[in-house]
Structure 1
Amino acid sequence: MSAPRFLNVFLRGRHIGELRGKDLRLSFQYDSATVAEYGAGSILLSLSMPVRRKRYEGPEVYNYFDGLLPEGQVRAHLASQNNVSTPDAYGLLTVLGADCAGAVQVLPPEVEPEAPLAAAPMTEDQVTAAVESLPTWELPEGFLVTASLGGVQSKVLLTRLADGWAWPGRGAASTHIIKPAPTDAAIPLLLPSEHWALSLAAAAGLPAASTSMETFGSRQAIVVERFDRSDDGSRLHQEDFTQALSLPSSSKYEGGLAARSRLGQIAGLAAPFTRSADAFHCDLLRAITFNLLIGNGDAHSKNYSLSLGDNGEVRLAPLYDVAPTLLLYAQSVNAGHAVNRQIRLPYITLEHLVAEAVSWGLGEDAARNTTEAVLHDAAEAAADVPAPVDLEFLQDLIPKRASQLLAGGTAGRTL
């Protein structure tokens, strides 16, 4: 079956424009009613594509919509299942665009958005089979994969109802991500450490995704409550930093040392649309400080996101995909983003953090106070957040790393 001539783009269930093209050549145009209501220059879908009458035809279109799709082997498997080429974002969105990150849906012309909770109930055995079969999918008849989420790890997107799990087919909004431990995991205990790190962040007062560890048959998995879904299951909009900066997903790690850091670009790009630029900068600094403290070597541009309100306000999204990778695996040294021109986690100090934030326009005293508060609060909270079996050392190591950073040095990876 050939791909449709265009795909309708919906935001929060409302039509906002059309996507056209094939493979790497995509174009997007807001519809006239959307331009009239929101006004040119307003932020609706993405910071990289403000509302305007003229059609978007540059790399920002492919990078944004491709960023809604998974990466690596997961993407290749889905492409093979649906008889499209792996780079063909348009073809993949034709079948996977019904439920994406944020409040966006990309649908063929004959398909309308479904009610947020119009999901098909699943039995316990069906849920277990779906999780155990990853990275492929062994699904009951009629259960098609119509949802998409970025990232390289295999995961199942499900909707949690009052009486159990449901399959978010036909455009229903998934509410949870179930991510089992990979069978060939390079970093042992990664998922339990992620659950602990996010629990620590919340205990230290940082907005963070809510998680739990559960077992599905033979697979242990982290279950993540989606922060881009409201209590009633409706969609809340967000985009990750690669989409906001019009970067391909393959460039999620900051490579060279550009004149202006990616963090600085985000700080400057988002500031005009925030309620308070200084408050946004402090929120961003808190997140970066916490990821340094726990030794997160996976804090790249797809693991930070922005929440985009219907009123155009931009806020930093809660922390997610946060884990102390450096403390579990010595080679995980990439900070993901350059911090005052330093990209390697073991060499970043409190002074790097302060200087980076000052380069965004935050005052030095505010930057230092913000950074120190995160280190103090997380060190204190570590004693009260029980670590999983074989990870108990983290409760002592995190306070030690905080002390080392507060003293002006770098943070060690062992006790």
Structure 2
Amino acid sequence: MNSRQGMEVFLHGRHIGMLTGTSLRLAFQYDADVVAEYGSGATLLSLSLPLSRKKLTGPSVYNYFDGLLPEGQVRSQLAMDNGVSAPDALGLLRVLGADCAGAVQVLPAGVNPQQAGNGKSLTHGEVANIVEALPTWDLPEDFMITASLGGVQSKVLLSRIDGGWSWPGSGAVSTHIIKPDPLDSPVPHLLASEDWALKVASAAGLPAAESWLETFGSRRAIVVKRFDRTAAGGRVHQEDFTQALGLSSANKYEGTTASPSRLTKLTSLAAPHTRDEEEFLRQLLRAVTFNALIGNGDAHSKNYAVLILDGGEVRLAPLYDAAPTLLLHSASVNAGHTLGGQIRLPYLTFEHLVNEGVAWGLQGSEARLTATQALESAAEAAAATPSVEEISFLRELVPARAQDLLNGRTARRSLA
């Protein structure tokens, strides 16, 4: 496979530029008519790649496009299956770029995006076989993987049509993510707790991805409706925080408590592009507070995202990949981001949350009210949201943690 050839980049089906380069060195050139229409410096594809008449090079280009691809074992296997090296983002996008996160498509030169089409209809047995085979992708020869989503967990992207499933080949729009229980996760009941946490967030008034649990053959899985897809099967553009900040996926966890925090940098970059800067900061503080409350040790920069609307308006994306990992596995202590100078979940307090919001630009009283309301609404929702028996203790533990934080203490990690 020759990954040295340039790739066409489309957004919402419109050609916006060319991606060229090899291995770790990529360059991106926006189309002149796109720059003329939106203006140099405008936001279209990524906050880290503002429109420019000049060819864009450097780490931000590689990190944005590389961030469209899976990580870890998932990436290594896809690379091996397709005869490219794992770091070769251009080579992998040649295979997987037809359906990526957001509204971007990266296609071989001369290939037009296919906006319509239902892909290949699947029987219940075929879906079960696909899910059961993960992470090996022991697929029939006519099932070519052409869709991509970041992350380290094994998952399959399918399209939901009239109550059935279809394989999103040839650039068809995938609408749902199916993640079976990991075979070797140290976190017990991970997917059940993720499904529960997303339902709690929604009940608490936080925008969150819609999910449910389902068994496919012998594997239980969480099915997540993609928030970057419309009910009519269209694409909504989004990027995660690593892409917005020009960071590599390998640096998804913030590794320092030095000021300014990563989230402070993100808000400084994104807030000026929002319709209501203060509301954007409040929404982010609610999301951060919720993840701290439930003990989400996976709340890193690839598990937060922004939506980028046509015209450059930025909005915070719904919560996703939210699970109370600390409460299920004691070693999961990393908060993902530094919050008010603290990066360890067991040591976070209410004041850390408030101070982080203040660092973004919120008034102290506004940050305090926002965090208080987020804790109170999440505690009420947690107590009222049903769960499977194995994690039923969370319905009591999460409200108790909320009260601990509101009382100025660190949050307990068990009911004992």
Tell me, what secondary structure is at the counterpart of 1:390? helix
Query: For 1:229-268, what aligned pairs fall within 5 Å after superposition?
Result: 229-268=229-268
Residue 398 of structure 1 corresponds to 398
Residue 97 of structure 1 corresponds to 97
Asked whether the equivalents of residues 4 and 108 of structure 1 are also in contact (C-alpha less than 8 Å), the reply is: no
Residue 40 of structure 2 corresponds to 40
Tell me, what secondary structure is at the counterpart of 2:370? helix
Asked whether the equivalents of residues 118 and 166 of structure 2 are also in contact (C-alpha less than 8 Å), the reply is: no
Residue 297 of structure 2 corresponds to 297
CA distance in 2, matches of 1:117, 1:244: 31
Q: 385-394 or 60-69: which moved more?
A: 385-394
Does 2:240 match 1:226? no
Which string of whole-angstrom CA distances, capped at 9 and with x for unpartnered residues, describes residues 100-120 of structure 1?
000000000132111244311
CA distance in 2, matches of 1:202, 1:41: 35
> How far does residue 4 in structure 1 lie from its aligned partner after superposition?
5.5
Residue 344 of structure 1 corresponds to 344
Which string of whole-angstrom CA distances, capped at 9 and with x for unpartnered residues, describes residues 51-109 of structure 1?
11111111000000000000001000000000000100000001110000000000001
Which string of whole-angstrom CA distances, capped at 9 and with x for unpartnered residues, describes residues 203-254 of structure 1?
0000000000000001000000000000101000000000001111001000
Tell me, what secondary structure is at the counterpart of 1:383? helix
Residue 185 of structure 2 corresponds to 185
Identity among equivalent pairs (%): 62
Which string of whole-angstrom CA distances, capped at 9 and with x for unpartnered residues, describes residues 293-342 of structure 1?
10001000000000100121101100000000000001100000000110
CA distance in 2, matches of 1:158, 1:331: 33
Tell me, what secondary structure is at the counterpart of 1:266? helix
CA distance in 2, matches of 1:264, 1:336: 14
CA distance in 2, matches of 1:354, 1:383: 24
Residue 68 of structure 2 corresponds to 68
Q: 325-334 or 252-261: which moved more?
A: 252-261
Tell me, what secondary structure is at the counterpart of 2:115? coil
Residue 150 of structure 1 corresponds to 150
Does 2:358 match 1:362? no
Amino acid at match of 1:243: Q
Asked whether the equivalents of residues 117 and 233 of structure 1 are also in contact (C-alpha less than 8 Å), the reply is: no
CA distance in 2, matches of 1:346, 1:116: 48
What TM-score results when the alignment is normalised by the length of structure 2? 0.98
CA distance in 1, matches of 2:191, 2:183: 12
Does 2:265 match 1:273? no
Does 2:363 match 1:371? no
Residue 85 of structure 1 corresponds to 85
Which string of whole-angstrom CA distances, capped at 9 and with x for unpartnered residues, describes residues 349-405 of structure 1?
111111111111111111011000011111111221012121110010011001000
Q: Which runs of 5+ in 1 are unaligned?
A: none
Residue 315 of structure 2 corresponds to 315
Asked whether the equivalents of residues 8 and 18 of structure 1 are also in contact (C-alpha less than 8 Å), the reply is: yes
Residue 24 of structure 2 corresponds to 24
> How far does residue 163 in structure 1 lie from its aligned partner after superposition?
4.1
> How far does residue 3 in structure 1 lie from its aligned partner after superposition?
2.8
CA distance in 2, matches of 1:23, 1:213: 39
Asked whether the equivalents of residues 21 and 27 of structure 1 are also in contact (C-alpha less than 8 Å), the reply is: yes
Asked whether the equivalents of residues 158 and 166 of structure 1 are also in contact (C-alpha less than 8 Å), the reply is: yes
Amino acid at match of 1:173: V
Amino acid at match of 1:90: L
Tell me, what secondary structure is at the counterpart of 1:61? helix
Q: Which runs of 5+ in 2 are unaligned?
A: none
- CA RMSD of the aligned region, Å? 0.9
Which string of whole-angstrom CA distances, capped at 9 and with x for unpartnered residues, describes residues 266-310 of structure 1?
110001100111011001100000001100010000000001001
Tell me, what secondary structure is at the counterpart of 1:221? strand
Asked whether the equivalents of residues 126 and 140 of structure 1 are also in contact (C-alpha less than 8 Å), the reply is: no
Amino acid at match of 1:291: N
